[in-house]
C-alpha cells in the first residue's frame, strides 16, 4: 500500500496540485456575489473572464475541489461583464449542495458555454415567442430577455408558490404570467399546462420549453393538439 | 521492457490505442500478446456500459496481485467518469486523460524508467493538450484500414450518455493535420479510412469560423480521392442528426471516395422519448435528413443506433420506434437495451421498463431489422460489387469482405493475399445480415 500512496502523491504533484481526477476541468472562476432568492434557490454571480456565450446556452459548473460538474443555463445577459447561474439545491444532488456551501470570494470550476437552446437568428425581428418554464427553467428566458430587450414574447412561468417567481421584475409585467399550482397568489392559479389549454398563442409562434420533462411532454401534447408544428417547438430538459 | 494494452469500447478508443502504442514503442517498449509477460500494462477504459468498467476493476485486481512478485507498472486512460477516476487513482500507478498522452513518457520517467522521449510542455489547457495529442503519430493496427480522430469531446449532453463528463467539450483537430493524415494513408495504400468523433458533423463549430466545416473538410478529402489513382473509401462516425445538413450529403454524393454508407443514430422513433433523451432533434427532422440522403445518394446504405427500454418508454413509444425502423429501412441497427450509467443525467431516473419487456422489445426490433435488411440484401442477388477483403471467414475456405456500403460479403477463396484488397464479387445468395458471392474478374459494378 505504501507504494500506491507514494504514487498517488506523485500523480498529484504532476498535475500542479490539482488532483488528477479533476484535470478534466478547465478553469476556476471567482464567485463575485451570491443572491438568495428562497431558502434553497440562489444566484451565483461569477467572473466571466473570456467566456462569450449566446443567451440560452449553458455552462458546466462545479465546486473547485470536487470531481463533478453539472450543466446550468446561464441566467445573465450576453453583454454583462459577469456570468450568473440560477441554482436550486437538489437533495442528494452531486453538485448543487456543494455549490450552496460556497461563499463570495471562493471559486467554482466553469467550462465553456455550449448549447442549442438559442433564438434562431433567421427569424424575423417581430417573431412572436412563447416561453414556457417550470421552476428554475426560467433561467435561459431571463438571459433571453435581458440580452434582447426588444423580443416579442409571452412568458409562462409554472411554480408551486409565488415566492418562486425568481426576480420576475426582469420581465415586462404584461408579458409575464406566473402560474402557481399550490396557491392563488400568482397571475393564474394552476399549472402552465392548464393555462395553455385555454390560452392559445397560434401556430406561427415559436415555443421554447424549459424545465422538468413531465411539463415539457404535457406542453408538447397540448401544442400538437393546437396544430403547432414540431419545427416551432424547442425544448431544454432540466434533470 | 514489454508492454500490453487492453482496449475496451468504441472505435475512438481503438484509434487512441494506436497512439498509445506509438508512444510506448517510442520509449523502447515492445508489444507482447501475453499480458503476464508485460512489465507495463495499460487499459483504455469505456464508461458506456457498466460491464466494461467492471472488467477494469477485475483486471487491476489481478495485476496488483502480480506486483508482489513482479516489476509491473499499470496505467489507465480512455473514457473514465470522475467518480471512477478517483477510485482508479488508488489502484493504478498512472491515471491520465488521453489528451495528456504526450506527457506519458514524462509520467513514466517519474516512476524510475528512463525514456528517450521527453516533453517540456506544461500549463496547458485541454484544447492545447489535445493539439499535442493529435500530433502523436499512431501505430496503425491494420495495413489497409485506419481510423483518424478529427474531434474529441461532446457538447450534446444526451441524458443517457456520460461522454460529456469523460471527454469534455468538443475540440476539433486542425483540418490540415487530418488532410495530411488522409493523404499519407492513401499513399500507403489504405483502402478504408474512418473519420472519428463523438459528433463528427459538428466538426469545426468550436473554432467559431476559424476552421473548415465538416462538409468543407469532406470536400477537401474528396479532392484527394479525385487526384489519386488509388481506390479507397472514407467513412465517418458518428454524426448527430441535429447537425446533419444537406451540404454534407451533397459532398458525399459528389466524390467517389466518400463512402456511400451513412451511420445516423436515431436512438428512438418517438419525439417524447427523444426529448427525454435530450437528443435535440425530432423524428420529423430525422425524416427530412433521410429524405435528402435518399434523394441525393439513393444507393447509400443506412445504419443506426437504437436504445430500447429507456426510462419511461411506453409500449406506444416503442411502437413508434418500430415504425421508424421500418420507414427508414436500415441496413443495420445497433440495438441496445437501456441500462443506467453513473454520471449520465438519466442515472437518477427510474429504470422502470422491466428487463423482460426490454428483451422482448430488443427481439421484436431485431426481427423488424432482419426483415428490412434482408430485403435489401436479396435485391443484391446477381449483381457485382466491389468489396474490401477484411479477413478469413468463420466458414472454412471462405474470405470475409464488405461492400462500400458495409454489407458483409463472404466468398469462397483461400487466397489470403487478397486480404486488404478491393476485389469484385458477384452475389449468389443472401441472408438477412450478410450475403455470399463468388469472385469475378471484370464486372459491371452496382455500388
pLDDT tier for residue B125 given thresholds of 50, 70 and 90:
low
Q: Are residues A173 and A230 in the same domain?
A: yes
Tell me the mean pLDDT in the region A189-202.
96
Tell me the mean pLDDT in the region A97-119.
93
Quote the crossing angle between the two packed helices B355-378 and B315-328, to the nearest 10°: 10
Lowest mean pLDDT segment, chosen from A104-118, B112-126, B154-168, B312-326: B112-126
B83 in A contact zone (CB under 8 Å): yes
SS3 A31: strand
pLDDT tens digits, B201-231: 999 998 888 999 999 999 999 999 999 999 9
pLDDT tens digits, A65-107: 777 889 999 999 999 999 999 999 998 888 999 999 999 999 9
pLDDT of residue B126: 67
Distance CA B236, CA B182 (A): 13
Number of other residues whose CB lies within 10 A of the CB of residue A152: 12
Q: Chain A residues contacting B, CB < 8 Å? A: 3-4, 7-8, 10-11, 14, 16, 19-24, 26-27, 60, 67-69, 71, 111-112, 114-116, 213, 216-217, 220, 230-231, 235, 237, 239
Length of chain B: 447
Q: What does pLDDT average to over chain B? A: 90
- Contact list, B282 vs chain A (CB under 8 Å): 230-231
Domain B2-123 has CATH 3.40.50.12160: yes
Q: Are residues A132 and A212 in the same domain?
A: yes
- Contact list, A24 vs chain B (CB under 8 Å): 82, 97, 126, 165-166, 168
Which has the higher per-residue pLDDT, A188 or B136? Answer: A188
Domain ranges (residues) in chain B = 2-123, 128-378, 384-440
B-interface mutation test, from A14, A134, A209, most B Cβ less than 10 A away: A14
Domain containing residue A139: CATH number:
3.40.50.80
ipTM of the complex, rounded to two decimals = 0.80
Distance CA B436, CA B399 (A): 10
The total number of structural domains in chain A stands at: 2
Is the per-residue pLDDT at A45 higher than 90?
Answer: yes
- Contact list, A4 vs chain B (CB under 8 Å): 90-91, 93
Cell of B441: 474478374
Domain containing residue A95: CATH number:
2.40.30.10
Distance CA B354, CA B339 (A): 11
**CATH of the structural domain B384-440, one choice from 3.50.50.60, 1.10.10.60, 2.40.50.140, 3.40.50.620:** 2.40.50.140
Cis peptide before B238 (omega within 30 of 0): yes
Reported as type and span, the H/E element at residue B273 is: helix B271-276
Look up the domain containing A145 and give its range.
128-237
User: Taking a C-beta distance cutoff of 8 angstroms, is the pair B71, B80 a contact?
Assistant: no
Indicate the pTM of the whole model: 0.83
Number of other residues whose CB lies within 10 A of the CB of residue A35: 12
H helical segments located in A21-134: 96-101
H helical segments located in B304-426: 315-328, 355-378
Cell of B366: 431485431
Cell of A239: 434533470
Residue A115 falls inside a structural domain: no
Nearest-CA distance from B203 to chain A in Å?
A: 14
Topology given in CATH for the domain delimited by B128-378: pyruvate-formate lyase- activating enzyme (3.80.30)
A–B interface: beta-carbon pairs under 8 A: 87
pLDDT of residue B442: 52
Q: ∠B80-B81-B85 over CA atoms, to 5°?
A: 70
| Minimum Cα–Cα distance from A61: chain B residue | B165
Amino acid at each position: 500500500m505504501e507504494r500506491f500512496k507514494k504514487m498517488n502523491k506523485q500523480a498529484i504533484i504532476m498535475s500542479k496540485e490539482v488532483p488528477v481526477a479533476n484535470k478534466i476541468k478547465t478553469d476556476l472562476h471567482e464567485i463575485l456575489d451570491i443572491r438568495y432568492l428562497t431558502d434553497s434557490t440562489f444566484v451565483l454571480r461569477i467572473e466571466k473572464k473570456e467566456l462569450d456565450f449566446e443567451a440560452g446556452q449553458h455552462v458546466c459548473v462545479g465546486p473547485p475541489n470536487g470531481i463533478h460538474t453539472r450543466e446550468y443555463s446561464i441566467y445573465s445577459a450576453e453583454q454583462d461583464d459577469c456570468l450568473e447561474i440560477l441554482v436550486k439545491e437538489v437533495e442528494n444532488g452531486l453538485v448543487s449542495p456543494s455549490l450552496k456551501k460556497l461563499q463570495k470570494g471562493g471559486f467554482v470550476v466553469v467550462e465553456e458555454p455550449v448549447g442549442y437552446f438559442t433564438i434562431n437568428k433567421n427569424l424575423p425581428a417581430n417573431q412572436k415567442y412563447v416561453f414556457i418554464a417550470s421552476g428554475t427553467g426560467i433561467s435561459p428566458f431571463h438571459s433571453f430577455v435581458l440580452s434582447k430587450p426588444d423580443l416579442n414574447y409571452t412568458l409562462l412561468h409554472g411554480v408551486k408558490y409565488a415566492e418562486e417567481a425568481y426576480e420576475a421584475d426582469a420581465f415586462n409585467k404584461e408579458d409575464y404570467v406566473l402560474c402557481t399550482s399550490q396557491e392563488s397568489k400568482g397571475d393564474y392559479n394552476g399549472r402552465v399546462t392548464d393555462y395553455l389549454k385555454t390560452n392559445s398563442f397560434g401556430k406561427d409562434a415559436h415555443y421554447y420549453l424549459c424545465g422538468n420533462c413531465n411539463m415539457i411532454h404535457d406542453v408538447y401534447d397540448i401544442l400538437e393538439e393546437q396544430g403547432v408544428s414540431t419545427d416551432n417547438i424547442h425544448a431544454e430538459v432540466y434533470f | 521492457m514489454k508492454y500490453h494494452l487492453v482496449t475496451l469500447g468504441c472505435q475512438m478508443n481503438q484509434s487512441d490505442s494506436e497512439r498509445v502504442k506509438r508512444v510506448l514503442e517510442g520509449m523502447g517498449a515492445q508489444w507482447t500478446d501475453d499480458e503476464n509477460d508485460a512489465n507495463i500494462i495499460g487499459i483504455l477504459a469505456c464508461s458506456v456500459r457498466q460491464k466494461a468498467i467492471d472488467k477494469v476493476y477485475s483486471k487491476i485486481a489481478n495485476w496488483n496481485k502480480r506486483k508482489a512478485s513482479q516489476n509491473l507498472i499499470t496505467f489507465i486512460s480512455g473514457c473514465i467518469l470522475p467518480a471512477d477516476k478517483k477510485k482508479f487513482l488508488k489502484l493504478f500507478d498512472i491515471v491520465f486523460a488521453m489528451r495528456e498522452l504526450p506527457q506519458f513518457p514524462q509520467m513514466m520517467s517519474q516512476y524510475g524508467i528512463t525514456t528517450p522521449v521527453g516533453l517540456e510542455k506544461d500549463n496547458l489547457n485541454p484544447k492545447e493538450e489535445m493539439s499535442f495529442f493529435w500530433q502523436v503519430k499512431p501505430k496503425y493496427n491494420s495495413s489497409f484500414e485506419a481510423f483518424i480522430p478529427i474531434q474529441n469531446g461532446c457538447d450534446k449532453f444526451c441524458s443517457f450518455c456520460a461522454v460529456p463528463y469523460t471527454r469534455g467539450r468538443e475540440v476539433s483537430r486542425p483540418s490540415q493535420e487530418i488532410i495530411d493524415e488522409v493523404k499519407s494513408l492513401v499513399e500507403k495504400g489504405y483502402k478504408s479510412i474512418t473519420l472519428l468523433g463523438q459528433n463528427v458533423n459538428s466538426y469545426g463549430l468550436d473554432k467559431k469560423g476559424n476552421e473548415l466545416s465538416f462538409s468543407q473538410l469532406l470536400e477537401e478529402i474528396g479532392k484527394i480521392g479525385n487526384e489519386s489513382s488509388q481506390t479507397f473509401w472514407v467513412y465517418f462516425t458518428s454524426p448527430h442528426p441535429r447537425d446533419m445538413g444537406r451540404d454534407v450529403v451533397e459532398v458525399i454524393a459528389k466524390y467517389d471516395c466518400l463512402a456511400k454508407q451513412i451511420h445516423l443514430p436515431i436512438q428512438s422513433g418517438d419525439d417524447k422519448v427523444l426529448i427525454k433523451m435530450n437528443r435535440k432533434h425530432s423524428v420529423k427532422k430525422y425524416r427530412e435528413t433521410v429524405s435528402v440522403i435518399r434523394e441525393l445518394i439513393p444507393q447509400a446504405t443506412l445504419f443506426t443506433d437504437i436504445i430500447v427500454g429507456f426510462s419511461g418508454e411506453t409500449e406506444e413509444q416503442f411502437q413508434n420506434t418500430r415504425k421508424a425502423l421500418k420507414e427508414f429501412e436500415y441496413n443495420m441497427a445497433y440495438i441496445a437495451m437501456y441500462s443506467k450509467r453513473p454520471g449520465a443525467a438519466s442515472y437518477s431516473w427510474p429504470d422502470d421498463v422491466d428487463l423482460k419487456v426490454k428483451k422482448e422489445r430488443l427481439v421484436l426490433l431485431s426481427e423488424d431489422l432482419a426483415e428490412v435488411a434482408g430485403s435489401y440484401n436479396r435485391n443484391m442477388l446477381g449483381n457485382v460489387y466491389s468489396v474490401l477483403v477484411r479477413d478469413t471467414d468463420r466458414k472454412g475456405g471462405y474470405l470475409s469482405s464488405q461492400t462500400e456500403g458495409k454489407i458483409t460479403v463472404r466468398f469462397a477463396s483461400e487466397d489470403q493475399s487478397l486480404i486488404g484488397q478491393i476485389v469484385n464479387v458477384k452475389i449468389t445468395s443472401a441472408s438477412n445480415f450478410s450475403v455470399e458471392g463468388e469472385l469475378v474478374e471484370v464486372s459491371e459494378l452496382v455500388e
